[in-house]
Amino acid sequence: MEAMTKVSSDSDSLKALDSVGRRLAGVYAEAFLGAASKAGLADSASGELREIANAFSQSGNGIHEFLSSPTVKREIKSKVITSLSKAGASDFLVDFLGVLNDHDRAQLLPAIADSVEKILLNRNGKVKVYVTSASDLDEGTAHQLAESLKTQLGKDPVLQTSINPDILGGLVIQVGDWVWDGSLSKELDGLRDQLFERGNHAIQGGRDRFRSDR
């Protein structure tokens, strides 16, 4: 693949975190996995954490904003967290959310879930790869892409695909903070820039010749 460019494609809640917040999320993620492993719940607890983080982040429900709000008292937040057990949340997860609340770190939940997922994938020699295409990838193309990425990255890629007709063709591939843009729209933008630059040179050259002939 060609050179990759560093970008940020995190959700709004992750983008809002500074470097300190991200490091804290990593610390909590390690602690979460350590406790879950000791309890024999690493897989189930990690999946449950991701589900509740996704649910909290859904637009319109306001739960993440509520738990992250500095104006809402911890006691009130604690009652809401405790009530999650009635909705089917495990005691382990409720206790973990309680710890976050006690330290005013509930806003880190999406970042913690993201860190947990990355840690588990890395431990298993895998890495999540986001692939954007103009239309659905057929099974054969997806397989070939996965094999190529495995060679390039040295890890088994876990593809997460999405469709964006605006890219017209080709692929946009993102791994972590790095993106490779091989889309047709990107190529057209580059061609447009080249033509614009050549046009400017031609105009300037004409001006220079005109001045020298006078």
DSSP bridge partners of 125? none
Cβ atoms of 74 and 90 closer than 8 Å: no
> What does the pLDDT read at residue 3?
44
Residue 58's pLDDT is what? 72
Residue-level pLDDT at 207: 56
CA pair distance 40, 54, nearest whole angstrom: 23
Assigned architecture for domain 125-214: 2-Layer Sandwich (3.30)
Q: Which residues of 72-107 are buried (b: 16+ CB within 10 A; e: fewer)?
A: eeeeebeeebeebeeeebbebbbebbbebbeeebbb
Q: Look at residue 120 in the predicted model and tell me its pLDDT.
A: 93
**Could you report the average pLDDT of every consecutive run of 10 residues in the chain (214 residues)?**
43 60 92 95 92 78 82 93 90 95 92 93 92 90 91 91 87 86 70 57 54 56
Q: What is the pLDDT of residue 152?
A: 87
Q: How far is CA 129 from the centre of its chain?
A: 10
Quick one: tokens of 101?
A: 């609340």
Cα→Cα distances 116→33, 35, 83, 113, 161, Å: 7, 12, 24, 5, 21
Fold classification of 12-120 is: Peroxidase; domain 1 (1.10.520)
CATH 1.10.520.20 in the chain, residues? 12-120
Query: What's the pLDDT score for residue 155?
Result: 92
pLDDT for the residue numbered 168:
83
H or E element, residue 43: helix 42-57
Tokens of 185: 């729209």
| pLDDT of the residue at 150 | 92
Give ranges for CATH 3.30.1330 in the chain. Answer: 125-214
Cβ(177)–Cβ(8) below 8 Å: yes
- Which residues are CB-neighbours of 109 under 8 A, at least 6 positions away? 52, 53, 56, 64, 67, 97, 100
pLDDT at 21: 82
